[in-house]
Amino acid sequence: MQKKMIEFKDVVRTYGTGEALQKAADHVNFTVDEGEFVVILGQSGAGKSTVLNMLGGMDRPTEGTVTVDGETISGMNDKQLSVYRAEKIGFIFQFYNLIPSLTAWENVALTKDIVKSAADATSMLEQVGLKDHANKFPTQMSGGEQQRVSIARALAKNPRLLIGDEPTGALDSETGKLILDLLIKMSHEQKKTVVIVTHNADIAKCADKVIRMKNGKVREIVKNEHPLSVEEVEW
Amino acid sequence: MLKRKMLRELKGDLGMCISVIILSFLAVLTYCGFNGDVIGFRKELKNFYQQTNFADGWIYSEGFSKEELEAVRDLEFVADAQLRTQITGSAPDYNNAQTNIYLEDENIVTMPLAMEGVPFDPQDVDGVWLNQSFAKAWGIQVGDTFTAEYEGVSITKEIKGLVMTPEYLYTCADNDADVNLANLAYIYLARDAFPVREVLKTAIENESITGADLSGFSEELENMPKSMLLALLDQISDERLQEFIPATTMIFTTNTDEDVMGYEKQISDALHQNYAAMINEHMIIGVERFIAETQQHEMFSYTFAAVFVLIAVLIIATSMARLVERQRVEIGTMNALGIRRRKIALHYVSYSLFLSLIGAVLGFFAGLYGMARAMIDMFSEWYVIPKAEVAFDGMAILVIAVTVGACALASFIACYKILRLPPAQALRPAAPKMARRTFFERLPFWKNLGFASRYNLRDISRAKFRALMGIVGTACGMVCAVFAFGCVGLVDDIDDWIFDRIQNFAYEAVLSENASVTWLDETVGEVDGELVMVSAIELSTAGKNVSSEEKTTQNLTVIEGKGLYQLTDPKANTIKLAPGEIAITYRLAKSLGVEVGDTVYWHLYTENTWYESQIGVLSRSPETAGIAMLREDLEKTGCRFSPTLLVSDQDLTAYQENANVSAVYEKEELRRIFLEGYEVLNLMVYIMLIISLVLIIAVLYNAGNMSFHERLKEFATLKVMGLPDKKIRRVLNLENLWLSIIGIFLGVPFAQPLLVAMMNSNGDNFDYYLHINPIYYLLSGAFALVVTLAVGYLFNKKIRGLDMVETLKGTE
């Protein structure tokens, strides 16, 4: 039996008060097993990024509990969340968010300042196929290359959980496929739990589990018995 | 609508707003603060001159005749002229305060201004007119009696008026290091009110005047014994006796605006060269000091205003460039909507216009009615002037205009770049700047640097202007801090220099004008003391009997070389004068262009005979310029040794009542008075420290704030990645710390020259050898660093409250 990695239990996240009260997440319940590749799918405003932010320790639920790797993160203070993000989470952004004034190698190597056990930056870049781009600055690289650096940076911390907010959203389909393939490999070969949010339904075809959200609620959770390979997907 | 936009956006960038307001405020504040008192003083001084018909020229001699006065009056350019006699006595009822006595038989030039009572009447033999500043210090009123003592004779009269004259704008008693209004009285008396017969009688009885001294009147008197002289005195008419109190000064006004020194040849011809010296108002020590002080304030006002305007422009230029870059799409939208470029430009220019105007107007009022008012109140303790009020001139308005204009121009230049773009291009976000290898990467230790160091070094390379702003601002702050701490050390240094090295004695007796040489020679042996002569001279390098342009007024110090009154070398170490060696003060030698081996020519101010001396050594004294020599060398020249001081390690207070002594001071008392005079520096310490504090905070907070906002997305990313707030703060503060450290080192070389310039701009007599103790540099550096670290803490809340979700939401 697979170990339960993530559990969202009756999670509510509201913004504003009174008449302006908005429920970005409304009694969200789901679980994710260790090593699963999960896609949270939904249109803009569905609440998927809110869920991802809570999962990433960037936001806290108003109600309910979020448990990751056996730890209830919803009750953590800022300092504990910072440690959680440092040790457990690897975050991949839609627009890569690399530090423009650091080279690819330096962007990855800065993880040493976050966790002492961070992996060697050169080998991480090698893993994502960018060993030769180590001395390039982000502006000297394509979007796909930047995203690969971003993945290398996320992986360098050796996190239990990789989360991505539209990680292929800013890329063309070919480059997007490369990135998606890389993430799936991380999940299946390195047993990393990967959760990404996207509005692209085609990506969901490659996922082990798909969580569909609408208006802040989980509408459907589908376990994909036969996920497609990246080559089979078109978008 | 655009106004609302501006106000809302300014609210959102409060750090920059406050910095610009503060710097514009400081620029105008320092200008108006340092200049407001100068203009006020000058305006009042002009009135003072007019009301008193202040002289344009002073001619000194051993004695002027009525005929000589008429000859000068007959000169075409002379408007008014009169004679007067000045002698120095004391006020026995007021701690033996030095009392300068003016005897006049007419009152048409440099008329003492009556502040209370009736104006001076030179025919009124019953009254005395006393200076108001002394009266105030002792609580003396019109109608009281005042006693002055001269050569052991008391002159007691009713005070008919309390007066003021521009000649005493700034002055101190001969024995004081600085102004102490309670120690210097000056009185005006009708010439006929002076008890000349009694004075002569007492002097003969005391043997301070002997037959030899009177031989100038009649050769028969030379060997006449005291009893015969006294008998003879009774037979001399009152009119004849007036010759014993000769009119030693002729004062005159001219009917032209030209410098009177240009007329010296005509004056000299009219007087058949029978005079010792001629000066104009600028050579009056008090007036000269006042002019130097006001020039010093002017220098400060321009320097500080320029520095603050420069930093404000740097802040505006960098901040507005960032603001405008951030609003690129908005500018494109406004342009696309049809809003004219000029209007958009005006809109962005109005940001800095608005902010700098607020700062400048606040600075104007705070400068005039706060700082300048405080300056006037403080300097009124030194400068005696009827009623000075703060004032401003067109330059203040110009400084406001320049401050506001420079800030507005910086804004315009920042937004002009984007305004030139076609709307379609401006509507698209700007392409990210290409990152390039920086200079720092060539450094051998680059590879060993950590993430924070590399990150910040590249940030500095990317935002050079911002870094420059931080460095220049901290450097200026450092200069101000060293200046402030240097002022504290300066007083200790000068105190030590004057009272421990130059004045190597415990007691000082100020001698009467005609102190008996016989008595002095006896007494100096008794108390194991040293006689010192300090006298005003005219000095020239061109030769004897030269014109005014070729000579300057200086001091002659004559010592006996017993080591009680010492000289110091240009590095303030004590030196011993060898027989035959004449010392000249360092700054004077430099200004005259003379060195050891050269010859100088001089004569006592009150005598017409010139002497020549060869310079043997350079000396330095903080508050006296001139030449110094041993008594034996002075006597070799033929000049009479007339000691003014008797100094000793033994207690001299027993001689307090002796007719040959005007006053006796313990050195510690002199030291206390001296230190009181330097209390002004305490104010400078506070002013400079506040300026330093505000400057460093404004500049570094603004630099940090800009750096924070420019790297907001990056910091949010680092936070998402789990980098603790503490480390993010360290990254941000590290950059400011570097800029601050560079600024601190850059500021160091400028601090000492500025302090020396300020101290030496007090007048040509001042020559400070300033060695700022390294501890003060360390203290100033520590001060700047503490402020830098404190500024860092201002970002704590910002970093702690950084909303990762919101910040990264808008990322494109």
- Does A18 map to a domain? no
Cα distance from B8 to chain A (closest Cα, Å)? 22
Nearest residue of chain A to residue B460 (CA atoms): A101
Encode pLDDT of B307-334 as tens digits: 777 777 777 777 777 777 777 777 777 7
At B215 the pLDDT is 64
Q: How far apart are CA B16 and CA B320, in angstroms?
A: 9
pLDDT over 60 at B567, yes or no? yes
Q: Which tokens is B337 given?
A: 């909507």
- Residue B779 main-chain phi, psi, to 5 deg: -60, -45
| pLDDT level of residue B812 (50, 70, 90 thresholds) | very low
- Does B381 map to a domain? no
Give the total number of structural domains in chain A.
1
User: By residue range, what is the domain housing residue B97?
Assistant: 91-166+174-194
Q: Which of B3-7, B19-23, B456-460 has the lowest mean pLDDT?
A: B3-7
How many other CB atoms are found less than 10 A from the CB of residue B67?
Answer: 8
Do B738 and B601 fall within a single domain? no
Cβ atoms of residues B203 and B513 within 8 Å:
no
Give mean pLDDT, residues A45-73: 92
Do B161 and B115 fall within a single domain? yes
Torsion of CA A144, A149, A152, A157, to 10 degrees: -140
Q: What is the pTM of this model?
A: 0.68
Those residues with Cβ within 8 angstroms of residue A133's Cβ, 6 or more apart along the chain or in another chain? A104, A125, A141, A145, A149
Mean of pLDDT over chain B: 85
At A144 the pLDDT is 87
Identify the helix (H) or strand (E) that includes residue B179: none
Do B511 and B646 fall within a single domain? yes
Bigger pLDDT: B653 or B222?
B653
Encode pLDDT of B78-117 as tens digits: 999 999 999 988 899 998 888 999 999 999 999 999 999 9
- Residue B343 main-chain phi, psi, to 5 deg: -70, -40
- Does B721 map to a domain? yes
User: Which residue among B459, B727, B812 sits closest to A95, beta carbon to beta carbon?
Assistant: B812
Q: How far apart are CA A107 and CA A103, in angstroms?
A: 6
Nearest residue of chain B to residue A159 (CA atoms): B721
Nearest residue of chain B to residue A83 (CA atoms): B722
Q: How many residues does chain A have?
A: 235
Do B481 and B507 fall within a single domain? no
Give mean pLDDT, residues B479-504: 86
pLDDT over 80 at B610, yes or no? yes
How many other CB atoms are found less than 10 A from the CB of residue B530?
Answer: 23
The strand pairing partners of B148, in sequence order, are: B155
- Does A164 map to a domain? yes
- Residue B450 main-chain phi, psi, to 5 deg: -80, 180
Would the CA dihedral through B531, B534, B535, B539 be positive or negative?
Answer: positive
Q: How far apart are CA B559 and CA B572, in angstroms?
A: 18
Q: Which tokens is B415 given?
A: 């937004």
Do B506 and B629 fall within a single domain? yes
Q: Which tokens is B706 given?
A: 């800009």
Q: Which tokens is A33 given?
A: 């097993």
- Does A212 map to a domain? yes
pLDDT over 50 at B618, yes or no? yes
CB contact under 8 A, A113 and B432: no
- Does A132 map to a domain? yes
- Does A183 map to a domain? yes
How many other CB atoms are found less than 10 A from the CB of residue B98?
Answer: 21
- Residue B450 DSSP one-character state: -
| pLDDT level of residue B761 (50, 70, 90 thresholds) | low
What is the 3-state secondary structure of B432-443?
A: CCCCCCCHHHHC
Give mean pLDDT, residues B53-67: 92
User: Which residue among A82, A83, A101 sits closest to B458, beta carbon to beta carbon?
Assistant: A101
- Does B8 map to a domain? no
Cβ contacts of A55 on chain B, cutoff 8 Å: none
Q: How far apart are CA B771 and CA B763, in angstroms?
A: 20
Nearest residue of chain B to residue A151 (CA atoms): B721
Do B649 and B711 fall within a single domain? no
Q: Which of A144-148, B131-135, B698-702 has the lowest mean pLDDT?
A: B698-702
Pick from B483, B485, B499: which is nearest to B673 by CA?
B499
- Does A9 map to a domain? no
CB contact under 8 A, B451 and A89: no
Q: Chain A: which residues have CB within 8 Å of chain B?
A: 53, 56, 58-59, 78-79, 82-87, 89, 91, 93-95, 97, 99-102, 106, 109-115, 137-140, 153, 157
Q: Which of A32-41, A132-141, A216-225, B672-681 has the lowest mean pLDDT?
A: B672-681
Q: Mutate which of B437, B720, B796 to disrupt the A interface (most A C-beta within 10 Å)?
A: B720
Do B477 and B543 fall within a single domain? no
pLDDT over 90 at B485, yes or no? no
At A13 the pLDDT is 94
Would the CA dihedral through A82, A86, A87, A91 be positive or negative?
Answer: positive
Give the total number of structural domains in chain B.
3
At B677 the pLDDT is 67
- Does A76 map to a domain? no
Look up the CATH number of the domain holding residue A169: 3.40.50.300
CB contact under 8 A, A113 and B450: yes
Cβ contacts of B447 on chain A, cutoff 8 Å: none
Buried b (16+ CB within 10 A) or exposed e, A28-45: bebbbbbbbbbbbbbeee
| pLDDT level of residue B240 (50, 70, 90 thresholds) | confident
- Does B559 map to a domain? yes
CA angle B606, B610, B612 (to 5 degrees): 130
Pick from A145, A167, A159, A206: which is nearest to A49 by CA?
A167
pLDDT over 90 at B432, yes or no? no
Do B669 and B703 fall within a single domain? no
Last residue of a domain, one of B632, B657, B676: B676
CB contact under 8 A, A113 and B727: yes
User: Which residue among A93, A101, A109 sits closest to B808, beta carbon to beta carbon?
Assistant: A93
B574-575 and B567-568 as β-strands: parallel, antiparallel, unpaired? Answer: antiparallel
Do B706 and B647 fall within a single domain? no
Range among A211-220, B6-15, B372-381, B704-713 rated most confident: A211-220
Pick from A89, A107, A110: which is nearest to A99 by CA?
A107
Do B669 and B683 fall within a single domain? no
Nearest residue of chain A to residue B715 (CA atoms): A99
Do B640 and B507 fall within a single domain? yes
Residue pairs between chains A and B whose CB atoms are closer than 8 Å: 91
- Does B76 map to a domain? no
CB contact under 8 A, A112 and B725: no
Q: How far apart are CA B278 and CA B273, in angstroms?
A: 11
Cβ contacts of A92 on chain B, cutoff 8 Å: none
Last residue of a domain, one of B652, B676, B700: B676
User: Which residue among A94, A97, A113 sits closest to B723, beta carbon to beta carbon?
Assistant: A113
- What percent helix, strand, coil does chain A show, rounded to 5? 35, 30, 35
Amino acid (1-letter code) at residue B469: M
Identify the helix (H) or strand (E) that includes residue B214: none
* ipTM greater than 0.95: no
Do B667 and B759 fall within a single domain? no
Nearest residue of chain B to residue A78 (CA atoms): B800
| pLDDT level of residue B9 (50, 70, 90 thresholds) | low
Could you tell me where the beta strands, DSSP code E, fall in B111-164?
A: 113-117, 127-131, 145-150, 153-164
User: By residue range, what is the domain housing residue A199?
Assistant: 35-60+88-230
Pick from B559, B562, B575, B567: which is nearest to B630 by CA?
B559
Range among B203-217, B417-431, B625-639, B651-665 rated most confident: B625-639
